[in-house]
Amino acid sequence: QKEVEQDPGPLSVPEGAIVSLNCTYSNSAFQYFMWYRQYSRKGPELLMYTYSSGNKEDGRFTAQVDKSSKYISLFIRDSQPSDSATYLCAMSDRYGNKLVFGAGTILRVKS
Amino acid sequence: SAVISQKPSRDICQRGTSLTIQCQVDSQVTMMFWYRQQPGQSLTLIATANQGSEATYESGFVIDKFPISRPNLTFSTLTVSNMSPEDSSIYLCSVGADTQYFGPGTRLTVL
């Protein structure tokens, strides 16, 4: 079993839709949770960062962490074609050094 | 966030040769990380490089295959030695503490 599970998709949605991306994990030591966006032939770009449980909102993006269920989510409101990319969840323990990544979900937003 | 550059951006190499990838950061950082992203897969940590000490390698990665240098607080190199087609990947460096920021990556193809 992988430490972090993420559905690779692809997930295809119409422009303006609300997108929900999710990851589950097995290591209860994880305390830092991140979402990265990766465009084709580019390095990952940090989108959201959350420490421990709770919600965090930044513009059209909301990150949720439920440590009791070992489940994290990223919501994208009013999705745009420019949101089409691969979204990677990542997490680390209290020392915050070694990131463990999910497989990444390919998102396609159609205009 | 730090600005990270990598050289080369891409290369095509012959089996049995070696390639050295450079990572330059625009500010001084304590820890630098090297990741591999194989085709269609997520990121896997190769090693952590601290200035003035030996790099720490993850399980499955060895110094003879992936020697790393960290001569100062803004620069690191990763060498991929005695390459085989299985080494064809994107190699990424990153910096940060509890969150990490990534360079654009080096796309390596081994024939």
The full DSSP string for B14-35 is -TT--EEEEEEESS--SEEEEE
Q: What are phi and psi of B85, to 5 degrees?
A: -55, -30
Inform me whether the C-beta atom of residue A21 falls under 8 Å from chain B C-beta atoms: no
Q: Which residues of A touch B105 (CB under 8 A)?
A: 41-43
Q: What are phi and psi of A88, to 5 degrees?
A: -110, 130
The number of CA neighbours under 13 Å toward the Cβ of B4 is: 30
Inform me whether the C-beta atom of residue A46 falls under 8 Å from chain B C-beta atoms: yes
Mutation target among B23, B25, B98 for the A interface, most CBs of A within 10 A: B98
Q: What are phi and psi of A82, to 5 degrees?
A: -70, -10
CB B45 within 8 A of CB B58: yes
pLDDT in tens, B20-68: 999 999 999 988 999 999 987 889 999 999 888 889 999 999 999 999 9
**What is the token pair recorded at A102?**
């999910």
Mutation target among A6, A97, A98, A100 for the B interface, most CBs of B within 10 A: A97
The whole-angstrom separation of Cα B4 and Cα B6 is: 7
Listed in sequence order, the residues at least 6 apart from B6 whose beta carbon sits closer than 8 Å to its beta carbon are B21, B22, B23, B24, B92, B93, B103, B104, B105, B106
Contact state of B45 with A98 under an 8 Å Cβ cutoff? yes
Q: How high is the pLDDT of residue B24?
A: 97
The number of CA neighbours under 13 Å toward the Cβ of B81 is: 9
Partners of B37 in beta bridges: B43, B90
Inform me whether the C-beta atom of residue B107 falls under 8 Å from chain A C-beta atoms: yes
Q: How high is the pLDDT of residue A81?
A: 97
The whole-angstrom separation of Cα A19 and Cα A101 is: 20
CB atoms under 10 Å from CB of A80, counted, come to: 12
H-helix segments, chain A: none
Inform me whether the C-beta atom of residue B105 falls under 8 Å from chain A C-beta atoms: yes
Pairing verdict, β A85-92 and A11-14: unpaired
| CA-based nearest distance A101→chain B, Å | 6
Position A96 confidence tier, pLDDT thresholds 50, 70, 90: low
Position B96 confidence tier, pLDDT thresholds 50, 70, 90: confident
pLDDT tops 90 at residue A63: yes
**Between B85 and B52, residue with greater pLDDT:** B85
Mutation target among B6, B32, B33, B43 for the A interface, most CBs of A within 10 A: B43
pLDDT tops 80 at residue A95: no
Q: How high is the pLDDT of residue A88?
A: 97
**What is the token pair recorded at A6?**
């993420």
| CA-based nearest distance B17→chain A, Å | 24
CB B61 within 8 A of CB B81: no
